[in-house]
Structures are given as structure tokens and as C-alpha cells.
Amino acid sequence: MALIVQKYGGTSVGSIERIQAVAERVKRWRDQGDQVVVVVSAMSGETDRLIKLAKQLQERPEPRELDVLLSTGEQVTIALLSMALAAQGCPARSYTGAQVHILTDSAHNKARIRDIDAARVRADLEAGRVVVVAGFQGIDEQGDITTLGRGGSDTSAVAIAAALKANECQIYTDVDGVYTTDPRVEPKARKLDRITFEEMLEMASLGSKVLQIRSVEFAGKYRVPLRVLSSFGEGEGTLISFEDNDVEDAKISGIAFSRDEAKLTVLGVPDQPGVAHRILGPIAEANIEVDMIVQNVGADESTTDFTFTVHRNDYAPALDILKRTADELGARQVTGDASIVKISLVGVGMRSHAGIASRMFASLAKEGINIRMISTSEIKISVVVDEKYLELGVRTLHEAFGLDRPAA
């Protein structure tokens, strides 16, 4: 007998029929003798609908109140799924995050899970029931409802799997696994049977929304066996593997991209010690995360140009702050661009292969795609390009690195 945690995303529970199909699948696992905990998202489109309602009242609603609102989406799904299971003769009980003590910090809208009290879940499983838990939500020490950020149900599932020491955490979604890149952008993308944990972590952090980054971090920390698979069909999906040598011997495993980027530049800053700190300090104080940073020597050598990228949602506040700092520093000008994207090549094989970067730049150049910024790490190379080149850039690189064919 195994203990399995299954998570079903929004599309997978998007209608009554879909919820019935999920119930059938869950029942199959239980009837074969496994203990099953199910984590669900809100029905597709529901979280967006709730955010829109809130924005009709306030442009920036109080994060605490937004969490009270957003958590209702998942609460609907747990109740409906438990009913669907009961209708099929499968005993089940639904729980909100608070009811199973998913304790988080108090960072509303992006809370982190600290602890889970799995006793109640265990008791139900022992009694032969399927346990249905609301994803994406928790409760803080004051008893206030919190949510975990978009895509957060993945993290709920992995955290519950870790707390229960489950045999596997299965993430059921609308694609049948992790692909070489988003199949919606490159139809020739190929499903991977396995991907290393390290690569999955990079893919998620560089924008592949198939798994929320924190769920991958959690899986790594607690060694949770994690699999991504389709709720619409059968198949083994993609296993996130902790063994480096267990996977295809490819130099590059995938291409991630992010549309949520914006870049800011301050031109003609006096080139003195402490300038980077003076520019980025106020940005950090405003809780804005900075991704790439580039500093150039300006034309006259006594000044410098400084560029960095932020999440597109933070563009307007970051620009305001930067303009103030630029005045204080006596900089010449501040510019910004919120129509850029980031495309990244990811692969553990990059470590031992030179020339990946030059091949990447050459293929983009051949298509006339101008690279605005570059950053690298051991297993990834990222470039910033204009938004209009996203699809072309991804497809060009997919082709150039032969990702549509399995590694020889």
C-alpha cells in the first residue's frame, strides 16, 4: 500500500464533468489499495475572476482581504470534489488549509508554508477516507487566512506530501508532463521522461509555469518524489529525478521564458564606490526583487550606466524610486522598457560543454533578434530581448539545439 498525494490544477477541475473525471481517477487509486490525499486548485478562471472583482473596488486591495477572497476559489472545489467522490461511493472529507493547520508566515498573497499538522489527515486515511485539501491557502499565527502566490497549489501538494512522507506527489495538469519548452509556444516541444531536480528548479525560476518554483524547492529540501502528468489521459508523465546521471545525456534540456519582465536604466551616474548600493538599496527597501544587473562604463569614463530588470508588476513603482535616486545622485537620465522578455537555455550538460553561448547568440543573430542583456550561471544562459521576438526566439533556439529530437 502506498500513500499518494495528487494535485489537480484549475483546468483539471474546470467543470462538473472534469470534477467527476477526477473523482473517478482518485477512486481508482484508492480501490487499488492506496491511501490518497487530493489537493485541488480553484476551477479554471476563478482566481482571475475574483481578482477582477476586487480591482473594481480598489486598485491595490488590502492583501489580507484579498486572501480572504481568493481562498474561496479552492474552497468551492474541495466541497464539489468530495461530493463527486461520495456520489461514486468513495468516502471522502474536504478540508480548508486552516482546518489541516497549514501554518504560514504572514506575508499575504505570497505566504510561505512553515508547518503542517498532518494528524487529522492521517486519521482520515486510516479510516479509509480520501482526504481533499484546498491548495494555495494556509493560515498564519494570528489565525488569518493567507495565500501562497499564483500557482501555489503545487506547493501545497508537495508540502503535504513532505509532511506525510508520501511515496509520491503527482501533479496532474493539462499537459502530459514537462516539455523541452512550453508546447503552447513551440508545438514541436518534446515531453521529457525525466528531468533533474536542478534543471526543473532553473526552468521554474526562469518562468516555466508548469510548476511553482517553491514546490520544486520544497521537493528538493525534503526529497519528495515528484511527477508531472496529465489529468486528461494516461501515461507516466515526467519524473523529477534527484540523480544527475539518470537522465538523457543532453547538453540542453529545455528552454524557459518569462513575459513578466521590465528593465530600467540610469544613464550618466558619477562612477564612485557605493553607486550600485545607492541605486538598488531603495529598490530593495520597497520589497522589489531585482533579477539581472549590468553596469557599463559610460562614454567619458567618469560616469557609468546602470541597468537592471524587475518583475513587470513592479515596473511603475521601481521607475518612481529610480527617478528620485537619480536626482539625488546627479545622474543624467532614467529610461525604462516594460516590453521585454527573458529567454533561457537550461541544461546540466552545459557545465562540460563550451560553445553553447556562442551558438545561442549566433542563432538569434541570424534571425535578426537583438540581445539586450545576457546573464549566465553554471546550468543556464538567459537573454533579454524585445517582447515581439519571444515566439521566434524560443522556436529558433529549440531548432538550433535539436530539442525536438531525443539526444543521441
The binding site for ligand ADP (CB under 6 A) comprises 9-12, 41, 151, 173-175, 178-179, 181-182, 184, 208-210, 254
In the 3-class helix/strand/coil scheme, how is the chain assigned residue by residue?
A: CCEEEEEECCHHHCCHHHHHHHHHHHHHHHHCCCEEEEEECCCCCHHHHHHHHHHHHCCCCCHHHHHHHHHHHHHHHHHHHHHHHHHCCCCEEEECCHHHCEEECCCCCCCCEEEECCHHHHHHHHCCCEEEEECCEEECCCCCEEECCCCCHHHHHHHHHHHHCCCEEEEEECCCCCECCCCCCCCCCCECCEEEHHHHHHHHHCCCCCCCHHHHHHHHHHCCCEEEEECCCCCCCEEEECCHHHCCCCCCCEEEEEEEEEEEEEEEEECCCCHHHHHHHHHHHCCCCEEEEEEEECCCCCEEEEEEEEEHHHHHHHHHHHHHHHHHHCCCEEEEEEEEEEEEEECHHHHHCCCHHHHHHHHHHHCCCCCCEEEEECCEEEEEEEHHHHHHHHHHHHHHCCCCCCCC
For the CB of residue 260, give the shortest distance to ligand ASP in the complex, in Å: 14
Under the criterion CB under 6 A, does residue 14 sit at the interface with ligand ASP? no
Tell me if 10 is assigned to a ligand binding site: yes
Provide the minimum distance between the beta carbon of 12 and ligand ADP in the complex, in angstroms, as a whole number.
Answer: 6
The least distance separating ligand ADP from the CB of residue 211, rounded to whole angstroms, comes to 8
- Nearer to Mg ion among residue 92 and residue 210 (C-beta): 210
Residue, CB closest to Mg ion: 151
Residue 151 sits in the site that holds Mg ion (CB under 5 A): yes
Contacts with ligand ASP by CB under 6 A: the residue count is 13
197 phi and psi, to 5 degrees?
-55, -45
Q: Is 146 annotated as a binding residue?
A: no
Q: How far is the CB of 179 from ligand ASP (least distance, A)?
A: 19
Stretch of 32-40, 123-131, 145-153, 262-270 contacting Mg ion, by CB under 5 A: 145-153
Instruction: Please check whether residue 231 is in contact with residue 174, taking contact to mean a CB–CB distance below 8 angstroms.
Output: yes
**Shortest approach of ligand ADP to residue 354 CB, angstroms?**
26
Least distance CB 355 / ligand ADP (angstroms): 24
96 binds, among ligand ADP, ligand ASP, Mg ion, none (CB under 5 to 8 A by kind): none
Residue 73 binding target from Mg ion, ligand ASP, ligand ADP, none, CB below 5 to 8 Å by type: ligand ASP
Per-residue binder mask for ligand ASP (CB under 6 A), 147-166, x = binder? ---xxxxx------------
- Residue among 238 and 309 whose Cβ is closer to ligand ADP: 238
CB of 364 to ligand ASP, least distance (A): 32
| Of residues 187 and 273, the one with the C-beta less far from ligand ADP | 187
41: contact with ligand ASP by CB under 6 A:
yes
| 134 three-class SS | strand
Binding residues for ATP: 7-10, 173-174, 179, 184, 209-210
Binding residues: 7-10, 47, 74, 173-174, 179, 184, 209-210
Using CB under 6 A, list all residues that contact ligand ASP. Answer: 9-10, 41-42, 47, 73, 135-136, 150-154
Using CB under 5 A, list all residues that contact Mg ion. Answer: 9, 151
